Structure 1
Amino acid sequence: MTHHGASDLFDVVVVGGGPAGATAATDLARGGRRVLLLDRAGRIKPCGGAIPPRLIRDFAIPDELLLARIRSARMIAPSARHVDMPVGDGFVGMVDRAHFDPWLRDRARLAGAECRDGVFERITRDEANLATVHYREGKDGPAVSVRARLVVGADGATSPVGRAEIPGHAKMRQVFAYHEIVRSPSAEAHDGTRCDVYYQGRLSPDFYAWIFPHGDTMSIGTGSMQKGFSLRSAIRDLRAATGLDACETVRREGAPIPLRPLKRWDNGRDVLLAGDAAGVVAPASGEGIYYAMLGGRLSAQAAEAFLATGDARALASARKSFMRLHGRVFWILGMMQWVWYRSDGLRERFVSICKDKDVQQLTWDAYMNKELVRAKPAAHARIFFKDLAHLFRWVSP
């Protein structure tokens, strides 16, 4: 392996090659910047793998990466009653992160980014005040250092870059997620166009469990903030209850997922965060891929402005732009999670609300296109009052 010296100077070193990091690296390389994308080999994140049409459009995702097309979601209450929510026009795409992430990294490479397998260790500054990124080649390989005008930390919820450089990062609240990828049973045994979402305290006391089809395989997962709750036992129970315990397990993965966007994504100098490292996972839904890729794109734009002007204040524009676009939705979803995910009685009511056609329409509109449809204020008002009625038990569930 070639040993790269500290004389290597990059415009941007991106640490982490998931959707956020790979997108930032691609956009910056396409803009003619000298980019190093540093990723740890063999890392696959536990993830249901759902991607909305807006992502497929905005980030030009090819059909061959879509392992399934979802046409409906089934919400399952603690009592086992369920509500089916048809998507209507269009579909939700399903990807497997084991294939999706490497494809995104290849796209960054084709755009001109240099990609290396390495484990980030630390950042120091030289006498010219330039950041020097220290990492190890492979897992136990030689120590390497490269210099960068800017470092983008896209290295996950427990981001070593964020913890070292952004005050308060270590206090970021997290859900821990775990899933098992299994071989899909026959089409008769399970509908490959439907996502099942379980709102049951025994499977997650404060989040939800899921069964998402990926064509030949499926993701069976859950998440929780509660330290003592056994995610593995919950998945064992869910598999047994659904007859999926007989299916071959392909792989198992666990990882923390952040609960809300950080107050600061940059250090006011030469480090900017993106994706899970910045906390951009939607509350209540846990959706992260779209927000990670958008965050990567906005970080690339902020990086471009910073590199062009040398003004570190430009780095704050990534978070400002993101919150302007999605802050309101994140706030609403956060309230939803806080209100409805606290007990099985509330979860039962939440699922019964999902029967409402207004709720279904608005949910899919917001999810598919990432916009709260402002043209429908009457529907918003109706939903708000229905929500209150359910919450205060003015109606029977």
Structure 2
Amino acid sequence: MTDLKTFDAVVVGGGPAGATAATHLARRGFSVLLLDRAGRIKPCGGAVPPRLMAEFEIPDSLLVARITKARMIAPSNQHVDIPIEGGYVGMVNRSTFDEWLRERARTAGAERRTGTFETFERDENGVAVIRYKDAEGNPAAVKARAVIGADGAQSAIGHQAVPGADKLKFVFAYHEFVRTPTQPPANYEADRCDVYYQGPLSPDFYAWVFPHGDTVSIGTGTALKGFSMRQAVTDLRKTIGLDSAETLRQEGAPIPMEPLKVWDNGRDVLLAGDAAGVVAPASGEGIYYAMVGGRLAGESVAEFLITGKSKALAGARRRFMKAHGNVFRVLGVMQRFWYSNDNRRERFVSICRDQDVQQLTFDAYMNKELVKAKPLAHVRIFLKNIAHLTGLIKA
């Protein structure tokens, strides 16, 4: 074990969080290993806000579509079309997007290896040892002064090294990537996202149709065990007229819905991205928050490596929650209340007809913070919510 190569940091998982953390550390001059499984593509609608593109210097060439409106469909099939004024929702294909991020990390100086993490151990001096199987299935191992677990909602690093990581709350997500027909169905628009708030398609979350240029992501999510997500997607494809479109990929995975209370082990391991639970409730948006979490993980690990003070690791969660905790708390309340049954979903979609709600929702999405510039609009929204809750306004 004394012959093993030692890195300043080993990052397990090469999605947006892991790749961003590896890039940050490599740019700071630390020796970094980025370890990622072969062929891993997370099931994801692929939505990214303009702020992500600017903040993380992502080229426009990675966008496969720009969404300029959203359609929200109620249980009654009534729908609300919401224009996205002053911006857009970008769409990326995760296979291409994630690989570009991993290559940026390599260009910055990180070493890339393909492999599957197996165990977290320590040597006789207490140094972390990461054991994995390489691309050919052979056992391999490296040492690390610090470890970043960015290996998903059921993080093996988290389960083995961070107390409480196995308590992460999540929904299951499943989607099918299909080829966009040469002549799409009449109710399909290449610049519109459709979100279905209907119990038969998702009993406690939502189903979606997200255009990706020459492909379409059609999926659903739920925390209800036993619910057939495959059948729900089959039914949705039939409803929108894409049941005969060519299916390119079928993917499923858990998606976290609440940040963990603790992201580090107080010694040398820190979680990021889905492993830390940073996917926004209600919307399920995760790419931007994963990249923010990855950057904060990189900053905190860099501080730890320089100072030797393990308390620096806790700074990642503290800074993340200071910046985004209020958004997560508000969205969590929304999901628990409005998504609980179809009667409330009907009212939720009805509320979204309101222009104040529409503008503030997408302002918050594009700017990634609760909008405080229009207090009167917030008052009006609060009063309208009360009216819907009390039944003074019919859905």
TM-score, with structure 2 as normaliser: 0.98
Distance 1:365 1:5 in 2: 54
Could you say what secondary structure the match of 1:79 adopts?
coil
Shift of 1:6: 4.5
Tell me if structure 2 keeps the 8 A contact 1:5–1:144: no
Residues 50-89 of structure 1 deviation map (CA, whole Å, 9 limit, x = unaligned):
0000100111111111000000010000111100110001
Change (3 A) 1:187 1:322: farther
Query: Counterpart in 2 of 1:78?
Result: 75
Distance 1:238 1:57 in 2: 34
Could you say what secondary structure the match of 2:103 adopts?
helix
Query: Counterpart in 2 of 1:27?
Result: 24
Farther-moved stretch of structure 1 (150-159 vs 165-174): 165-174
Structure 2 residue 94 is the aligned partner of structure 1 residue 97: yes
* Structure 1, unaligned runs of 5 or more: none
Distance 1:146 1:59 in 2: 29
Query: Counterpart in 1 of 2:141?
Result: 145
TM-score, with structure 1 as normaliser: 0.97
Query: Counterpart in 2 of 1:11?
Result: 8
Residues 188-231 of structure 1 deviation map (CA, whole Å, 9 limit, x = unaligned):
53211000000000000000000000000010000000001000
Tell me if structure 2 keeps the 8 A contact 1:6–1:132: no
Could you say what secondary structure the match of 1:245 adopts?
coil
Q: Which amino acid aligns with 1:24?
A: A
Query: Counterpart in 2 of 1:339?
Result: 337
- Which of 118, 131, 134 is 1:121 aligned to? 118
Query: Counterpart in 2 of 1:173?
Result: 169
Q: Which amino acid aligns with 1:147?
A: K
Query: Counterpart in 1 of 2:258?
Result: 260
Query: Counterpart in 1 of 2:327?
Result: 329
Tell me if structure 2 keeps the 8 A contact 1:275–1:291: yes
Residues 110-168 of structure 1 deviation map (CA, whole Å, 9 limit, x = unaligned):
11100000111111111222111111102x52111111000000000000000011112
Residues 10-31 of structure 1 deviation map (CA, whole Å, 9 limit, x = unaligned):
0000000000000000111011
Within a 5 Å distance, the mapping from 1:268-307 to structure 2 comes to 268-307=266-305
Could you say what secondary structure the match of 1:321 adopts?
helix
Tell me if structure 2 keeps the 8 A contact 1:23–1:293: yes
Q: Which amino acid aligns with 1:183?
A: R
* Structure 2, unaligned runs of 5 or more: none
Query: Counterpart in 2 of 1:377?
Result: 375
Tell me if structure 2 keeps the 8 A contact 1:6–1:145: no
* Identical aligned residues as a percent: 64
Could you say what secondary structure the match of 2:115 adopts?
strand
Tell me if structure 2 keeps the 8 A contact 1:175–1:223: yes
Could you say what secondary structure the match of 2:221 adopts?
strand
Change (3 A) 1:188 1:239: closer
Could you say what secondary structure the match of 2:290 adopts?
helix
Shift of 1:186: 3.8
Q: Which amino acid aligns with 1:306?
A: F
Farther-moved stretch of structure 1 (120-129 vs 104-113): 120-129
Structure 2 residue 151 is the aligned partner of structure 1 residue 155: yes
Change (3 A) 1:237 1:188: closer
Change (3 A) 1:134 1:318: same
Distance 1:314 1:112 in 2: 23
Q: Which amino acid aligns with 1:132?
A: V
Could you say what secondary structure the match of 2:33 adopts?
strand
Shift of 1:375: 1.4
- Which of 177, 181, 184 is 1:185 aligned to? 181
Residues 25-50 of structure 1 deviation map (CA, whole Å, 9 limit, x = unaligned):
01110111100000001011000000
Distance 2:69 2:370 in 1: 20
The aligned length equals 393
Could you say what secondary structure the match of 2:243 adopts?
helix
Query: Counterpart in 2 of 1:361?
Result: 359
Which ranges of 4 or more aligned residues in structure 1 deviate by more than 3 Å? none
